[in-house]
Amino acid sequence: MQIRQLYLRRIVYLSLILAPLFQRPSFAQSNPSLERVLTSMDKAAASFRTIEADFVWDQFTKVVEQTETQKGKIYFRRSGNEVQMKADVTGPAPEDQKSVLFSDSKFQLYQPNLDQVTIHNTNKNSEVESYLVLGFGSRGHDLAKSYDVTYIASEKLGDVQTEKINLVPKSEKVRNNFDHIILWIDPSRGISVQQQLIALNGDYRLAKYSNIRLNQKISDNVFKLKTTGKTKFLTP
């Protein structure tokens, strides 16, 4: 059971992105700052086609007070009713290289040093798939279906003036993986430029995005794993 929870948490962290669909919350109407943030996300979602960005992921493990950093590029595109995601981890060390692909309701992790692909089928689990659009093409007002959403404050990240919002999962099952999520939203574009997923035990993943390119054409080849003729395929 513990191994399964760890595996699911990794899926959440790699996706780094969530926003289930439906309701418009009444609380936003009583908080003008939050209402502006959520409205900017709604507008971005209406025209969302693709996103490409550089990332730095900092994974902090509290029990050993240690931070592991990974960097690379991440891609999203809307394909019919599905959002596809590809993350290419390029460093910092050569052995850190790997690719994560979400498409057709499957997560595939390719590790070139092992020449191995590990496949996890979500069976069209909407909860898992919804992680893919957290702050990237998701409607802001739809967050209220699965989260208690509150406004934190404005904060400048580099040259970007962001608005911080806090998401507390309503589902006990989800809270077993993380206690809350903080999003730094760029209201001028309605997208997240930084995310922090915080677990109950104090572990967290901080994802920082830069060189964000919206709605530009991305080659179909990007959403394919660069495997070899000898690649092993495993399904846990």
Nearest Cα to Cα of residue 189 among 19, 50, 75, 43: 43
Indicate whether 13 pLDDT > 70: no
Indicate whether 19 pLDDT > 90: no
pLDDT of residue 69: 95
Can you say whether residue 158 is alpha, beta or left, with left for phi > 0 and alpha for psi between -120 and 50 degrees? left
Give the model's confidence band at 30: pLDDT under 50 very low, under 70 low, under 90 confident, else very high: low
Indicate whether 169 pLDDT > 80: yes
Which residues are bridge partners to 154 per DSSP?
A: 163
Give the model's confidence band at 83: pLDDT under 50 very low, under 70 low, under 90 confident, else very high: confident
Give the model's confidence band at 55: pLDDT under 50 very low, under 70 low, under 90 confident, else very high: very high
Q: What is the pLDDT of residues 175-209, one digit of tens each?
A: 888 899 999 999 999 999 999 999 999 999 999 99
pLDDT of residue 21: 30
Ranges 14-28, 53-67, 97-111: which has the least confidence: 14-28
Can you say whether residue 170 is alpha, beta or left, with left for phi > 0 and alpha for psi between -120 and 50 degrees? alpha
pLDDT of residue 20: 33
Q: Where are the domains of the chain?
A: 2-234
CATH number 1.10.1740.10 is the correct assignment for the domain at 2-234: no
Of all residues in the chain, what percent carry a pLDDT higher than 70? 83
Residue range 212-225: mean pLDDT, rounded: 95
Give the model's confidence band at 38: pLDDT under 50 very low, under 70 low, under 90 confident, else very high: very high
Indicate whether 2 pLDDT > 80: no
